[in-house]
């Protein structure tokens, strides 16, 4: 019966886990008797998923970093494979995280378990050869961006563009003033958001530079307050190591993410889905990233597109400033944040970016459409 099916879902980092959680929440409203388990975090758990391994144990980015943590990743992979073999689910849903998930797809394919891949690997940017593996091991792709669908169709791979789950989801009922009041922020201050990423190595590398930049900013502008969201998978003690070293008060906020974004006058964010969320909420921001030197050199040779930020990628334009590697300095951040704090210039630009991003992403309802793709796959297999 379609009413009682077993599904295993695998995510490996924060944004994918949140998108999976939204999809599975929609699925639960359609088919509440489905048994769903896998690798995830709080968002998936809130959607009724039995979490076997927390995704934070896999949330590692960069070739050098992955090599350093290879043994831990391999151990999780082997345990997961054994679990899948014992459970024999009706469907395996892989969410992003291709380095891990495509290897898993190869192993599971031998078990004759149907596989759906939600959130395509960025084969249009790099690792184009992955499409051959996808064709061999994945039964159906559920992609987010309209331009991804013809890539898979041309390769003869079953695909549906479900739309991006952030369209219609990255919203808040609060206006700027109400958001400030919610977090007890000084209404006369300009609010600077520091968003240092959802991986430990990103926080350790980039948060000290961010903090130094706002210290410099505070020397010239005493009317600023600083907020920092606690990302899923990041322990607060990691953040506190750096915050305790500064005299600048920094308010750490857990949850209420979109309301916190709305409270900000300007944001510095590490590259990732978060920059798309900030853009959709119309807040001026800049994107930063710094990887291990060897990782960056390798990626620079492999990547086929000029941008790393999602807003710039999907619009094919440099909408949001990207600071990478040695350009990420406290002096440069201080300068760029100062520019963002000129509302007559940055607010108008942020609104234009929002409209261009919305146009590029297409219609809303992505999470619900993805949930229906699961239903359709299960119907075919029953």
**Residue-wise pLDDT tens digits, 254-300:** 999 999 999 999 999 998 889 999 999 999 999 999 877 666 666 66
What pLDDT, on the 0 to 100 scale, is given for residue 272?
87
Burial track 310-341 (b if 16+ CB lie within 10 A, e otherwise) = bbbbbbeeebbebbbeeebebebbbebbeebb
> Which CATH number is correct for 6-165+365-381, 3.40.50.2000, 3.20.20.330, 3.40.50.300, 2.60.120.10?
3.40.50.2000
Residue 244 has a CB neighbour count (10 Å cut-off) of: 8
Q: N- to C-terminal Cα distance for the chain?
A: 7
How many whole angstroms separate alpha carbon 312 and alpha carbon 175? 26
Spatial contact of 43 and 13, defined as CB atoms under 8 Å apart: no
**Which parts of the chain are beta strand (E)?**
6-10, 35-40, 50-54, 91-95, 115-118, 140-143, 159-161, 190-195, 224-229, 250-253, 266-270, 285-289, 322-324
Quick one: tokens of 201?
């190595």
Dump pLDDT digits (tens) for 134-167: 999 999 999 999 889 999 999 999 999 999 999 9
Residue 11 has pLDDT above 80, yes or no: yes
CATH of domain 176-361: 3.40.50.2000
Residue 61 has pLDDT above 90, yes or no: no
Residue 198 has pLDDT above 90, yes or no: no
Please give the residue that has the higher pLDDT: either 106 or 296: 106
Structural domain spans, the chain? 6-165+365-381, 176-361
Residue 41 has pLDDT above 80, yes or no: yes
What pLDDT, on the 0 to 100 scale, is given for residue 19?
94
What are the φ and ψ backbone dihedral angles of 322, each rounded to 5 degrees? -115, 120
Share above pLDDT 70 across residues of the chain, in percent, rounded to a whole number: 92
The DSSP secondary-structure symbol of 325 reads: G
How many whole angstroms separate alpha carbon 114 and alpha carbon 134? 13
How many whole angstroms separate alpha carbon 370 and alpha carbon 358? 19
For residues 214-224, give the mean pLDDT: 91
Name the band, by pLDDT with cuts 50, 70 and 90, for residue 15: confident
Residue 117 has pLDDT above 60, yes or no: yes
For residues 211-232, give the mean pLDDT: 93
* 6-165+365-381 matches 176-361 in fold: yes
């Amino acid at each position: 019966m379609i009413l009682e099916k077993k599904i295993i879902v695998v995510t490996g980092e924060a944004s994918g886990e949140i998108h999976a959680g939204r999809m599975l929440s929609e699925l639960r409203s359609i088919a509440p008797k489905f048994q769903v388990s896998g690798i995830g975090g709080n968002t998936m758990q809130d959607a009724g998923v039995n979490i076997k391994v927390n995704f934070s144990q896999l949330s590692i980015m960069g070739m050098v970093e992955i090599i350093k943590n290879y043994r831990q990743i391999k151990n999780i992979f082997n345990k997961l494979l054994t679990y899948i073999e014992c459970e024999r689910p009706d469907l395996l849903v892989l969410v992003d995280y291709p380095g891990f998930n495509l290897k898993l797809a190869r192993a599971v394919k031998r078990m004759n378990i149907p596989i759906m891949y939600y959130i395509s690997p960025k084969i249009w940017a790099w690792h184009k050869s992955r499409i051959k593996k996808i064709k061999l091991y994945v039964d159906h792709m559920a992609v987010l961006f309209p331009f991804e669908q013809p890539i898979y169709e041309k390769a003869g791979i079953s695909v549906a563009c479900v739309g991006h789950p952030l369209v219609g989801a990255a919203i808040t009922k609060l206006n700027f003033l109400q958001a400030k009041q919610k977090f007890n922020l000084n209404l006369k201050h300009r609010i600077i958001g520091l968003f240092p990423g959802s991986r430990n190595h990103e926080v350790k590398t980039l948060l000290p530079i961010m903090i130094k930049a706002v210290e410099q900013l505070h020397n010239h502008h005493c009317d600023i307050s600083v907020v920092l969201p606690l990302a899923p998978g990041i322990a607060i003690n990691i953040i506190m190591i750096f915050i305790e070293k500064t005299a600048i008060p920094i308010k750490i906020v857990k949850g209420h993410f979109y309301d916190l974004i709305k409270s900000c006058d300007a944001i510095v964010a590490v590259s990732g889905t978060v920059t798309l969320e900030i853009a959709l909420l119309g807040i001026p921001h800049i994107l930063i990233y710094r990887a291990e030197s060897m990782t960056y050199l390798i990626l620079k040779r492999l990547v086929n597109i000029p941008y790393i930020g999602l807003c710039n990628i999907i619009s094919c334009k440099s909408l949001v400033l990207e600071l990478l590697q040695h350009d990420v300095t406290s002096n440069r951040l201080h300068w760029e944040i100062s520019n963002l704090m000129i509302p007559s210039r940055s607010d108008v630009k942020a609104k234009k970016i929002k409209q261009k991003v919305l146009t590029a992403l297409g219609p809303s309802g992505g999470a619900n459409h993805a949930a229906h793709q699961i239903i359709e796959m299960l119907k075919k297999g029953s």
